[in-house]
Structure 1
Amino acid sequence: MKLLNIGQLGEDLVTQWLQSTGWLILHQRFSCRWGEIDIIAEYPGEEAEEQGGRGARGQGSIKNSTWVQHPTNSTQNSALAFVEVKTRSLGNWDAGGRSAITPQKQTKLWRTAEMFLTKYPEKADYPCRFDVAIVCCQRISKLPTNFTSNQDALFSSSVAGYKFYLQEYIPAAFDSLVD
């Protein structure tokens, strides 16, 4: 019997939600020597600055935990989101996964993002941000008293006896998680 990968199913849920809101999925589970980024998504078009940008369009670099913009004459209007997905069961001990995004984890994600931009230089001038998706997972019981419906979820799905809820999507999360 194949074991269920709850984390991967949570990432799949977030991927579906991002696609339904206009994002293009460039990679799932992009990995390099520094680590792994769960989802790398691109938001194309005029809305890119509102949806995914952090400042003016232009060539940028990742330095000291923030994205630094360097304006250019680029006509590119897309933006990139490097998304960390945390899937947890109800009553978990680490605030839905928020506590797992330590400064060390953020550093690994920044380095991995830099490796992605090095591998795909055509994306290097896109505005970028680091997002966090909090997914709640609950086993579906045949007893209705054990199942709690969540009306506040952004998106939900049922897979293999589990219900997954996208509880929260935090754009530019590192800015709000640190200090």
Structure 2
Amino acid sequence: MGSRDSSELNSTRKSVKRSYPVGNRPLATASSNSAPSPNSRDIGTLGENLVADWLQQQGWEILHRQWHCRWGEIDIIALGRDEESVKNRGLPNHTSPTVAFVEVKTRRRGNWDAGGMLAVTTTKQAKLWQTAEIFLSTYPDLANNYCRFDVALVMCEPSQQNTKRILPPLTAANSESAVAGNYRLTLQEYIRSAFSI
């Protein structure tokens, strides 16, 4: 797992070409004729759980999960100290923590959107920005902190376990992967400051 900056995210998005006609995007299921998996939302929540656990292991405090307003939803809002961000901002004695608005994309093998990276379009970024502005106006005590938008890409694959629970607890295999019921989730990429508006 590594981290990338926003220019790399945008160049990757531009370099991946669609191999399907516009409007005929294939579903992320085994058969394009079948309906989306009824547990797709559950899989997304499991991916968010993995990322939230990973952030906490990194010393971040999770302020909110699935925070929503009229503009949209932010998967994870976390508060923490990020020495790398402090150095990049040129503020050596900067003491206020960073607020990270984290968009989590959980995908199965064979997805159409580069592991979820292509789903963070400029329209999605604008909605996240508006949602973050509403959040900061609701919590003005956090408004003076440095804020950034991160993107976490999680891969979901069938695991060797064969249980049938829908929302089982995550069992940590290491800090970047976990097993949940029939699935193994792996944090493929955590992109700090993935975009700015």
TM-score, normalising length from structure 2? 0.67
Q: 2:66 is matched by which residue type in structure 1?
A: R
In 1, the alpha carbon distance for the partners of 2:43 and 2:142 equals: 31
Residue 80 to residue 124, structure 1, CA distance change in 2 (3 Å) = same
Q: 2:49 is matched by which residue type in structure 1?
A: D
How far the C-alpha of 1:161 sits from its partner, in A, is 1.2
How far the C-alpha of 1:50 sits from its partner, in A, is 2.5
Query: Residue 79 of structure 1 aligns with which residue?
Result: 98
The size of the alignment, in residue pairs, is 147
How far the C-alpha of 1:160 sits from its partner, in A, is 1.0
How far the C-alpha of 1:142 sits from its partner, in A, is 6.4
For residue 96 of structure 2, give the secondary structure of its aligned residue in structure 1: coil
Q: Structure 2, unaligned stretches of length 5 or more?
A: 1-37, 163-173
Query: Residue 18 of structure 1 aligns with which residue?
Result: 55
TM-score, normalising length from structure 1? 0.74
Residue 52 to residue 12, structure 1, CA distance change in 2 (3 Å) = farther
Query: Residue 62 of structure 1 aligns with which residue?
Result: none
Q: Structure 1, unaligned stretches of length 5 or more?
A: 58-74, 144-152
Q: Which one of 69, 76, 86 corresponds to residue 32 of structure 1?
A: 69
Query: Residue 110 of structure 1 aligns with which residue?
Result: 129
More strand by share: 1
Query: Residue 187 of structure 2 aligns with which residue?
Result: 166
Residue 54 to residue 92, structure 1, CA distance change in 2 (3 Å) = same
Residue 141 to residue 165, structure 1, CA distance change in 2 (3 Å) = same
1:55 and 2:89 correspond: yes
Q: Which runs of 4+ in 1 moved over 4 A?
A: 51-54
Whether the 8 Å CA contact 2:161–2:181 is kept in 1: the answer is no
Identity of aligned residues (%): 51
In 2, the alpha carbon distance for the partners of 1:54 and 1:112 equals: 25
